[in-house]
Chains A and B, each alone.
Chain A
């Protein structure tokens, strides 16, 4: 399945889901001629149509590529040199690595209210650095804690922005 086909299918699903929700918008006595559902319906329909166009383009391109291969000609692989090609070269492992970083971010969201800003940011920096390939030494922990303290000083003391103190502090 090519990138274009995946994009086309995703656009169709997104457009269809959005359109289904747009059709459920209830009319009200305040509505103008177009109403709150007017634009969403147009957008949902357009997204589905564009998704279909992209999918058809992808299928036709794939057919052309197969014919060229069958005829012994070199297939066109120009698109592989772009950024998407670079991500793709990382393979599923690469995408999983991005998922791992995302999980670290979600982990931060889950602990910050309880742990408080400084411990949560220190954990975030340490986890993200280790995940990015930093060696597991005392240095990474020191940098993580120093970074969290630096950000705390910057946001809370310099900029006066309140950040979560956390619940752990109540136990001390």
Chain B
């Protein structure tokens, strides 16, 4: 009850409501543009958050995530092109409904299910984050080191087909994290005599470069294929009877979204497809799936919007981002000097409560803003790509310069963009790099501090029960992920 009261108080004493509304609107616009993922949409906002107070900044970013998950379904339904990866499952039945002249109803189901998903995810976020963080309060340096290793172990599920490439990307992130002043002795490493590198390379610059600049470079390699969206689409919400029919698939979306959000590395895309599949399995109208089933929109849209809140749970409780979007959100916390992890509930409780309140506003405001943004979204999607990219390019340059008024930062962002482009060309995933970058300091400093405590004895990592637990889970996680294809191969002959 205290949490609720404080969240509501923050809503009315800070610009939280405005930030939540702006965030949702920006998220819907970004999500509706094919090519701009929720994380890129959030990364574009990161530089602006410097000028804001911490609570407003975090609400703005988290609300963008909420808005982008719905925004992705707009082009998915209207032009069969998912605006975000998580909206890919929505294409299947959303576009079929559009072809049958029910685009407005499909958009209404998507928006309404998104609101249900966001609200349910928020409840889970409030209920689960603090108890998990309370466990984490008893952490010592070995536990933090092991937690960092657990976070890094997520790399195996994010490697997208090649574990070696995922590990290369993760180590590259750890390498970047070593630039600057050594966390224990204070000596300089890899600074090349440059004063700007003494404080290290800020994750926000790397993220903007990797996500946003590399996307523009990739788009420059491709010919502009003009997109045309019918501008008459208007949102139509489902009636009582249809709403009742959608309820089971929305509940499936909620449950799947909760599990997938908490599980690092899974994210909205996996949640959407699992929810779609489960909704089909449990539906009384299985035959309609793939031919314009309303449940085929409700389940994935509820799931990916649930994830937009539940993915924040491991970030707040343990300081571990499990997805690109939460990694960018972590960047927002770092900009304001807030350390995420269990102590956030003690040291920055107001920010956490503000985040809860902001997400509540964002989830509800999504209904009205989603309807209002329909026209601007269609207008924006219909703009020539050349102009859109030029404006995004200028926005990145202006935003990044505004952080420290430093051209060196702009150079770093461009360099990170080139690295991101090369990584995409070589099919090397980004998130391991981001994980390495943000967890590098945690892992190295706590590893060395633990050894200082133990007098150089490595057994401290197994005698500390929390550390042992995390290392065991990390080992099982890695073995499970690596062994999955092997077990699948073993099962195949038996099945056949």
Give complex CA distance A94, B48 in Å: 32
Chain B contact residues: over half helix, strand or loop, or mixed? helix
A35 touches B185 (CB 8 A): yes
A147 touches B174 (CB 8 A): no
**Which of B164, B182, B386, B414: most chain A Cβ within 10 A?**
B164
A124 touches B397 (CB 8 A): yes
B426 touches A3 (CB 8 A): yes
Residues of chain A lying within 8 A (CB to CB) of residue B172: 14, 47
**A134 to B: closest C-beta gap in Å:** 4
A90 touches B221 (CB 8 A): yes
Residues of chain B lying within 8 A (CB to CB) of residue A144: 390
Q: What does the 1/0 interface line of B365-391 toward A look like (CB < 8 Å)?
A: 000000000000000000011110111
Given the known interface contacts A97-B220, A98-B421, the answer about A151 and B394 at a Cβ–Cβ threshold of 8 Å is: yes
Tell me whether B217 is interfacial, beta carbon within 8 Å.
Answer: yes
Which residue of A36, A46, A101 is within 8 Å of B185 (Cβ)? Answer: A36
Tell me whether A33 is interfacial, beta carbon within 8 Å.
Answer: yes
Give complex CA distance A87, B92 in Å: 26
Give complex CA distance A68, B47 in Å: 51
* Number of A-B residue pairs with CB-CB distance less than 8 Å in the complex they form: 200
A36 touches B398 (CB 8 A): no
| Beta-carbon contacts under 8 Å, A51-83 to B | 51, 53-54, 57, 79, 82-83
A84 touches B426 (CB 8 A): yes
Interface residues on B, range: 35 or more
Which residue of B391, B428, B448 is within 8 Å of A147 (Cβ)? Answer: B391
Residues of chain A lying within 8 A (CB to CB) of residue B424: 83-84, 87
Tell me whether B189 is interfacial, beta carbon within 8 Å.
Answer: yes
Tell me whether B395 is interfacial, beta carbon within 8 Å.
Answer: yes
**A69 to B: closest C-beta gap in Å:** 22
Give complex CA distance A53, B287 in Å: 47
Nearest B residue (CB) for A51: B168
**A141 to B: closest C-beta gap in Å:** 12
Q: What does the 1/0 interface line of A31-44 toward B look like (CB < 8 Å)?
A: 11111111110011
Given the known interface contacts A98-B221, A134-B384, the answer about A28 and B187 at a Cβ–Cβ threshold of 8 Å is: yes
Give complex CA distance A64, B410 in Å: 44
**B400 to A: closest C-beta gap in Å:** 11
Mark B residues whose CB is within 8 Å of A.
Answer: 48, 51, 162, 164-165, 167-168, 171-172, 174-175, 178, 182, 184-187, 189-190, 213, 216-218, 220-222, 224, 384-387, 389-391, 393-395, 397-398, 401-402, 405, 407, 410-411, 414, 417-418, 421-422, 424-428, 444, 447-448, 451-452, 456
Can you list 18 A-B contacts with CB-CB less than 8 angstroms, sorted by A residue number?
A18-B175, A33-B456, A47-B168, A47-B172, A47-B175, A54-B165, A84-B424, A97-B220, A98-B217, A98-B218, A100-B220, A102-B417, A104-B393, A128-B394, A129-B387, A132-B386, A132-B387, A133-B386
The 10 closest A-B pairs by CB, nearest first: A132-B386, A94-B221, A128-B390, A36-B182, A90-B221, A129-B390, A161-B402, A98-B217, A134-B386, A84-B427
Known A-B contacts: A95-B221, A162-B405. Give 20 more (CB < 8 A). A15-B171, A18-B190, A33-B451, A35-B185, A39-B444, A44-B175, A47-B168, A50-B167, A53-B164, A54-B165, A87-B222, A98-B421, A113-B407, A127-B390, A129-B387, A143-B387, A144-B390, A155-B402, A161-B51, A163-B401
